[in-house]
A and B are shown apart, each in its own frame.
Chain A
Amino acid sequence: MGGKVSCTLGEVKNRADFVLYWGGNPAECHPRHFTKYALMPKGRFVPRGRKDRTMVLVDIRETKSVKAADIFLQIRPGKDFEALSILRALVKGQHVDEKQVAETGLTLEQLTDLVDRMKRAKFGVMFFGMGLSMTRGKHMNSASILTLAAELNAYTKFVAMPMRGHGNVTGADVVMRWTTGYPFGVNFSRGYPRYNPGEFSTVDLLVRGDVDAALILGADPGATMPQPAIDHLARIPTVVLDPKVTHTSRLARVHITTAVTGISAPGTGYRMDEIPLPLRPALRSPYPTDEDVVRRIHQAVAEKPDWMAAGGQTTTTQI
C-alpha cells in the first residue's frame, strides 16, 4: 500500500458521476464543497449537475450531510479499516466472511451494491475526513482507502482525496516538503531535517516535555491538543502569532497580534487539492503580517552567535 491517486477539484466538478464521502461531514465542515466542486455544479461531462451524480456517505452517525446523500451507510465506530478491506476484496471478486461483514455494521448486500456502483461509474471519487484518518487505525485507514481507489483503476477511473481544512494546513505541508523533504514532524536539532511522526510530531514532543520554548503560528493547539501537551505549553515560554485571542494565546507568555491573512495581509493559500490561490487583502490592518513578524524574529536571531559547530556542509551518514 502507498501513494495517492487523486486529481484537482475541477476534475471532480467536470467528470465525477460517483461521489463518496467517508468519515466526514462536509455540509457543516466544508460548506462550499457540495456546491462549488463535488455535487451541485454542472460539469463539462456531467451537464445535469447533481442529477448526473450518485452520492454515498459513510459515517458512524447521521449528520447534516445525510440529507445530501443518495445512499447513507452507517458504519460501526472503529470498523473503517475492516470495511475498506472487505470492499477491496469484493472489488477483486474475492470471498468475504459474512461474520466479518456483520462486524462492520453493514450488510453484504450494501457493500456489494456499493462495489457495483463504483465499478459502473465513469469517474469515481472518494473524499475522506478525520472520521476516517484520525480514528482507530489512523494512517492505515487512509492508506486503505487510497489503495482501494488505486485498485479500482483496473476497472474504471477512480480517485481519492483527504478533506483537509484548518486554514492553510495544505500550504504548510507543501512548503515543508519542498524545503525539508517532509510534510510535518520535522526535527532540525542536528542541523538537517529529520522526520519521524510519533517522535517528532508536535503533540508527542510536548507531551514528553522535550520542548523548552514554542512559537505558534496559524494554529490553536490550546483548543485541540491533549491536556498534557497544553499543560506543557503553559509551562514553557510560548509565543503566539494570531489575529485573535485564542485558547493558546491565553496561556502564552507573549501574544503578538497580526493581520488576518487573506483579509488584510497578502499571501498564498493552498487548496485541499494542492492548487495555490493568491490571497489579495481587501482591507488594511494596523497590525504587522505574520511574515513581517517572523522575518524580524529571524533577523534578531541571526545577529546572535551561530550555535552550530563549524564543520562540514553535508553529511552522508544521517544519525
Chain B
Amino acid sequence: MLRIVGGQVYDPAHGIDGVVQDVCIQDGRIVENVDAAPTIDASGMIVFPGGVDVHTHVAGGSINFARAMTPEDHRRTTAFIRSQTNRAGVGGMTPTTFATGYLYAGMGWTTVNEAAVPILSAKHTHEELRDIPIVDKSCCVLLANNEILLDLLEAGEMERAREVVAWQIWASKAYGVKAVNPGGVAAWKYGKNAEQLSEPVDGYHKVTPAKIVAGLAQIVDDLGLPHPLHLHCNNLGVPGNLTTTLETMQNLDGRRAHMAHLQYHAYGGDDWSTMRSEAPQLADYMNAHRNFTTDAGAVLFGDTVTITADGPWQHLLYKLTGRKWGNLDVENETGCGIVPYTYRPTNLVNAVQWAVGLELLLLIDDPWRVFLTTDHPNGACFWRYPEIIQLLMCRDFRRDCMAGQSDKALSRIHLPDIDREYTLYEIATITSAGPARALGLPRKGHLGVGADADVVIYDQDDDVARMFGHPRYVIKGGEIVIEDGDIRATPEGRGLLVRPPHDEQIEAFLRPLFEDYYTMSFDNYSVEMERIQQPEICDCIDTE
C-alpha cells in the first residue's frame, strides 16, 4: 500500500493535466483510496505513468551478436557494480540484460516491447527477457520473410496463412507481428533485395512486398491482435524512400499498422549528396490517416551500433562505412545485420536524420499516434531519451543545437521553422499513454483505478534532460524500485503474450514442411511456457 501525496499528476488517458491529486496504490494496482498507507510526499514533484517503449531491441540473438562485436564500448561505459540488490553488468550501446532493466527503470520506463524475434531463436530471446529485471516485456515475431507464409501467399491460401500466423505467434510466445523489409530479407538469402513494392519477390511469381504487407495486416486484424502489424518498410535509410513509405501506407487501405522508426523512411533526394527531409509530407499523411501509429526512431549524434533484421541494408551500411559487419541469416524466416555506427553532426546525411526524427515528432499533431523511440540502439541508446525530451520541449535548445550546422544541411531540413514546444502533458502521452494504447495494454500508460501501479515521480527542474534522466522515485507494480538514483528493489517483470485461437490441425500441415526445410525438429521449435517469466496472456480484441 502506498499513497503519493501532493504531486502534480499528468495522466493523459484521463485528461488530467498537471492537477495536484493523490495517487493510491494497493496490491500492485492503482486504487481509489487506501487507509493508513505509507505516504510519499510528492509536493513540488511531477507524477507520470511509467514509460512504455513500443520499439526497442534489448534481447535475443541480434543484440547479443552486437554485444560480442563491441567489447571496446563495454570497457569505456558505465559499469554496474554487484550489490545485494543488483547484479553486475555494463551499460553503453548494448547494455547487458540486467543493466537494461536497471537503466530503463532508472529513467522511469516500466514496459518495453522487443521489436524483432525470429521464431527459430525465440527461446534465446525469452531467456534474455527473463534476465531483464523490473520492467514488463512483450515481443513481436518476425513474419514478413517467413518462407512458409510467402509460399502460402503465393498460392493464395490466405485462410491457411492466418492459421499459420496464429500458430507461429503462440509458438514464439510473442505479443505482436513484425514485418521487416517485406520480401527483401528473403531475397537477401541470395544477396538481393526488394526495392519495388509491386514487383515479385526474388524466387516468387506473385508475391510482392505490397501483398505481404497487406496480407499480414489483414491477418493481424482478423486475429484481433491488440497491437497492429508492426511494420518496418522496404528501402529503410535510402534517399528518396518517402515514395516507398507513402505507397506502403496507401497499400494498407485503411487497415491498422504501426509504422516503426518512421525517421528512417522519410527521406527525399536521389542519392546521399541530395538527401533531404520529407518529414512534413509524411506528417501530413499521418495526420490525415488515423489507422496508423508510429514511433520516431529518432537519431542523436554519437556512437552506437545498428541492429536490424534488414540484412541487405546492413550490407550497404558496411560498404558505406567500412566498419565491422555482422550478419546472421535465419533459415526460412528472417535475417539480422549488425554494423557499429557513429552519427556525426558534420555529416550531411546524419544531420538530416537527426532533424527528421524531431520533425516527425513535432509535425505529427496527434501525440496519441507518434511515440518517442530511438529504435534502440539504432538511432541512439534508449537511455538518451531525456535528451530528446529536452529537444522537444525547448525550442531555444533546438536552435542552439543547430547553430553549428552548415547552410547546406539547414537547407535540407525543416526543423529551424518549427516553433512547437511539447508540454509535459504531451510528453506523458508520447512516452507512456500513447504507446500503451498502441500496444493494446489496457492497464499500462495511465493512473486510473485498476491500472498497474507503474508510476514515476520527477523532481520539478528547469533542466528538462536532468529531470527526466533522474526520477526521484520509480514505482513498479506498487513497489518502489528506484529512489533518488539508487536501485532499491529488482522484482521480476511480467511476460506479456497473446494466444490467438487457431485450428490445431495446422500442425499436420506444418510438420512435414519442417522435415524438409528446417534443421530443428518440429517438436523442439515452440517456446515452452515454462520459459516465460510471470506470463500474462492478454486478450485479443474485436477489430470490427
Contact = CB atoms under 8 A, between A and B. Distances in A.
Interface of A: 2-11, 13-15, 36-37, 44, 122-123, 150, 153-154, 156-157, 159, 174-175, 177-183, 188, 190-195, 268, 270, 273-278, 306, 308, 311-316, 318
Given A10-B520, A15-B190, A278-B123, 4 more contacts: A11-B331, A181-B71, A275-B520, A318-B79
Most buried by B among A6, A174, A183, A315: A174
B528 interface: yes
Given A8-B329, A159-B327, A181 B96 contact: yes
Given A192-B80, A194-B75, A308-B81, A2 B324 contact: yes
A311 B332 CA distance: 50
A190 B81 CA distance: 8
Interface in B82-105: 82-92, 94, 96-98
B131 interface: yes
A168 B67 CA distance: 19
Interface of B: 59, 61, 64-65, 67-69, 71, 74-92, 94, 96-98, 120-121, 123-124, 127-128, 131, 147, 189-191, 315, 318-319, 323-332, 338-339, 486-487, 516-520, 524, 528
3 nearest A-B residue pairs (beta carbon): A10-B331, A2-B324, A192-B79
A268 B123 CA distance: 9
Contacts of A180: 88-90, 96
Contacts of B517: 10, 14, 44
11 contacts: A2-B323, A4-B326, A10-B331, A122-B190, A177-B67, A179-B97, A180-B90, A180-B96, A181-B96, A195-B74, A313-B83
A313 B519 contact: no
A192 B77 CA distance: 12
B81 A191 contact: yes
A188 B83 CA distance: 12
Contacts of A274: 61, 65, 121, 124, 328
A270 B128 CA distance: 14
A314 B78 contact: yes
A277 B61 CA distance: 14
A308 B328 CA distance: 40
B518 A10 contact: yes
A13 to B, nearest CB: 6
A291 B91 CA distance: 28
B89 A192 contact: yes
Given A9-B519, A311-B81, A276 B97 contact: no
A11 B67 contact: no
B81 A7 contact: no
Contacts of A4: 65, 69, 326-328
Most buried by B among A154, A181, A195: A181
Contacts of A313: 80-81, 83, 85-86, 486-487
Contacts of A278: 123, 524, 528
Contact of A156 (B86, B128, B191): B191
Main secondary structure of the interface of B (DSSP, over half): mixed
Contacts of A183: 68
B108 to A, nearest CB: 17
A309 to B, nearest CB: 10
A178 B67 contact: yes
B329 A193 contact: no
Contact of B189 (A5, A157, A192): A157
A316 B324 contact: no
Nearest to B526: A278
A8 B328 contact: yes
Nearest to B84: A306
Most buried by B among A122, A154, A314, A318: A314
A179 B100 CA distance: 10
Given A5-B326, A312-B81, A14 B96 contact: no
A7 B131 contact: no
Contacts of A194: 75
A150 B68 contact: no
Contacts of B79: 192-193, 314-315, 318
Nearest to B81: A191
A318 B56 CA distance: 27
B331 A179 contact: no
Contacts of B315: 153
Nearest to A194: B75
A276 B124 contact: yes
Contacts of A150: 318, 325
A179 B96 contact: yes
B69 A3 contact: yes
A182 B303 CA distance: 19
Nearest to A37: B519
Contacts of B64: 174, 177-178
Nearest to B100: A178
B88 A193 contact: yes
Nearest to A156: B191
B519 A8 contact: yes
Contact of A6 (B91, B121, B147, B328): B328
A150 to B, nearest CB: 5
A191 B82 contact: yes
Contact of A14 (B67, B191, B332): B332
A7 B331 CA distance: 8
A6 B123 contact: no
Contacts of B325: 2-3, 5, 150
A7 B519 CA distance: 12
B131 A192 contact: no
Contacts of B524: 277-278
Contacts of A14: 331-332, 517
B190 A157 contact: yes
A276 B88 contact: no
Contacts of A10: 120, 331-332, 517-520
B144 to A, nearest CB: 18
A308 B75 CA distance: 21
Contacts of A191: 81-82, 88
B408 to A, nearest CB: 31
Contact of A3 (B74, B76, B326): B326
Given A5-B327, A6-B328, A179 B98 contact: yes
Given A3-B338, A274-B61, A178 B128 contact: yes
Nearest to B337: A5
A2 B190 contact: no
A94 to B, nearest CB: 17
Contacts of B323: 2
Contacts of B92: 181
Contact of A318 (B75, B84, B98): B75
B327 A6 contact: yes
A149 to B, nearest CB: 9
